[in-house]
Structure 1
Amino acid sequence: MDLCTYHSHCTFCDGKAPAEEFVKAAIEAGFHSYGVSSHSPLPFDTRWSLSKGDVEAYLQEMERLKKQYAGHIELYVGLEIDYLNDGWGPANDYFQRMPLDYRIGSVHLVTNGETGEMMDMDGSFDDFRENFRNVYHDDLKHLVRDYFRSSARMVELGGFDFVAHLDKISMNGSLVEPMLTEQAWYNELLREYLQLIAEKGVMVEVNTKAYTKKGLMFPNVKYFKWLKELNIPVMVNSDAHLPQLVNDNRELAFRLLRDAGVKSTMRLHRGVWEEVPMSEIKN
């Protein structure tokens, strides 16, 4: 396995331990590089995102860890930046001016294109169900279309290195409609989104966080073949919120990518993204 991950969280956002504990766990596991990517500040308060007032402390702590563990591991500081609209997302000057090593493009909050109301499509299904009923009046097609519309606009605007969990809408969406990912309209929307990603030359992560509890990877394993067909560069990230999960299910993801014919993966080395052939990665 290529021992690296660039999507992880800590107590500066909704992670369950300080950043240093994740770094220690990555070193113990033999990682060559590791990135911390707190949820970005938002223009309103949440329980799960980095606050604007803590940004400087976050950057200072990551700089301290880089110096302390130099020679043991390559450490990188990023942000998982939520796209809300054209005025708030990865391409926004606020995020572009930050001294980050990389940026992740992400959509958790979906705006109803008709009413302007916003809902969080992530989190527990109970919360999702209530938000879905209030904002979308149980119209799943409307929600999914708005999700992919926002995601596509984020990709068009750019300003980030890779897309996080690109089809995460399917996690709670499939609990509303169990056959969601079998529906032609859903697959057409996802295929169009992947084609745009390919056209823009954007990297995509395979996110393994939900596999142990929910049996899901993002994108869904069934779409790995589309990543191959469209020649989209991929990496495997654990999206760890606990230090002991820094490498959770990554070996399985590499095996499934190989089975789908994917020939290489991406990693950071000396601050530069590089392509690594699967043939050079040992299980």
Structure 2
Amino acid sequence: MNNLTNYHSHTSFCDGKAPMEAFIAEAVRQGFTSYGVSSHAPLPFRTRWTIDDREQTGLYLQEFARLKRLYGDRIELYVGLEIDYMDEDQQPANDYFQSLPLDYRIGSVHLLHSTQGEIVDIDTRPEVFREHVRLHLGGDLKRVVLAYFDKLMRMIGRGGFDFIGHADKISYNVSCCEPDILGQQWYKDKISEYFTFIAEKGAMIEVNTKTLHRNGFLYPNKEHFGLIRTLGIPVVVNSDAHLPELINSGRPEALRLLKASGIGAVWQLERGVWTEVPIGE
């Protein structure tokens, strides 16, 4: 199969459910041409879902180097980090993340700040998200959506990443709160502004397939594929796997949907260079 690649996966260094080697061994078993690990980068505070600190980041890089020596003759291996944009200090373009010997960087937003300055996780189960909006984000769903996309746009403006992770991840949770919200004109206008800004900055986006089999959503939403095609935004397809057996989950379906929408190629790493590759049959 063409396009058998993945550059978004989380190992036991963060919130993944298996050691790094298990993911790489599974990629070799399935015949992947290239594979990347991308644990959540450390934040200024400890969490259950990120690498703990800079010392652990060093160990993460050491383990990758060991595995690349072990498996590198069978598969192209790459190491990255998924780096949260929180503010001007904690973001993909800062000096620390740029100094690390990474093959690529994913820029993502998982957290918002409340009006009281609290850090609020919006990448949660829908019922938890609903409570976070009510208790910490003023109960105003529209304001939360606009704040999320504005934060992503600030990150895109700063750069420092190779591609944007799960470009509209909030869409599923807000649609669970308000089923018709994705069709409202203000939402469509914001999406158009957001993707137009991505195109203007020449950024690449990820089509994230993690929850396709669970809730039917891709990120970005497949309804936006036509706009993405029209704007000429480059696309990489990743599974955001947290278990080795899910490294290809949803990816074949996403590739078919992209091709059906008129997007005939995706981007992959080949010999360390991002390369446009036609979507296979």
Q: Deviations over 1:228-249 (max 9, x none)?
A: 0000000110100000001011
Compute the TM-score of the two structures, normalised by the length of structure 2: 0.97
Q: CA deviation at 1:46?
A: 0.8
Which residue in 1 is equivalent to 2:82? 80
Number of matched pairs:
279
Say whether 1:204 aligns with 2:209: no
Conservation of the 8 A alpha-carbon contact between 1:9 and 1:239: yes
Which residue in 1 is equivalent to 2:222? 221
Conservation of the 8 A alpha-carbon contact between 1:111 and 1:146: no
Q: CA deviation at 1:129?
A: 2.2
2:98 to 92, 96, 99: 96
Q: Deviations over 1:50-105 (max 9, x none)?
A: 11131111000001111100110011000000000111110111111111000000
Which residue in 1 is equivalent to 2:20? 19
Which residue in 2 is equivalent to 1:63? 65
In 2, the alpha carbon distance for the partners of 1:152 and 1:249 equals 27
SS at match of 1:189: helix
- 4+ long deviations beyond 2 Å: 114-118
Identical-pair percentage? 52
SS at match of 2:83: strand
1:110 to 102, 112, 133: 112
1:1-283 aligned within 5 A: 1-52=2-53, 53-112=55-114, 114-278=115-279, 281=280, 283=281
| Range with bigger deviation, 133-142 or 24-33 | 133-142
Q: CA deviation at 1:118?
A: 2.5
Conservation of the 8 A alpha-carbon contact between 1:82 and 1:89: yes
**Structure 1: gaps of 5 or more residues:** none
In 2, the alpha carbon distance for the partners of 1:121 and 1:257 equals 27
SS at match of 2:207: strand
Conservation of the 8 A alpha-carbon contact between 2:126 and 2:177: no
Conservation of the 8 A alpha-carbon contact between 1:8 and 1:238: yes
Q: CA deviation at 1:132?
A: 1.3
SS at match of 1:204: strand
In 2, the alpha carbon distance for the partners of 1:70 and 1:35 equals 12
Code of the residue aligned with 2:56 in structure 1: it is D
Code of the residue aligned with 1:90 in structure 2: it is P
SS at match of 2:120: strand
Q: CA deviation at 1:277?
A: 2.2
Q: CA deviation at 1:137?
A: 2.4
SS at match of 1:34: strand
In 2, the alpha carbon distance for the partners of 1:104 and 1:8 equals 11
In 1, the alpha carbon distance for the partners of 2:178 and 2:121 equals 18
In 2, the alpha carbon distance for the partners of 1:117 and 1:259 equals 43
In 1, the alpha carbon distance for the partners of 2:276 and 2:87 equals 31
Q: CA deviation at 1:156?
A: 0.0
In 2, the alpha carbon distance for the partners of 1:91 and 1:183 equals 34
Q: CA deviation at 1:128?
A: 1.5
Q: Deviations over 1:99-142 (max 9, x none)?
A: 10000000000124x44332111122232222211221210011
Q: CA deviation at 1:20?
A: 0.4
SS at match of 1:14: coil
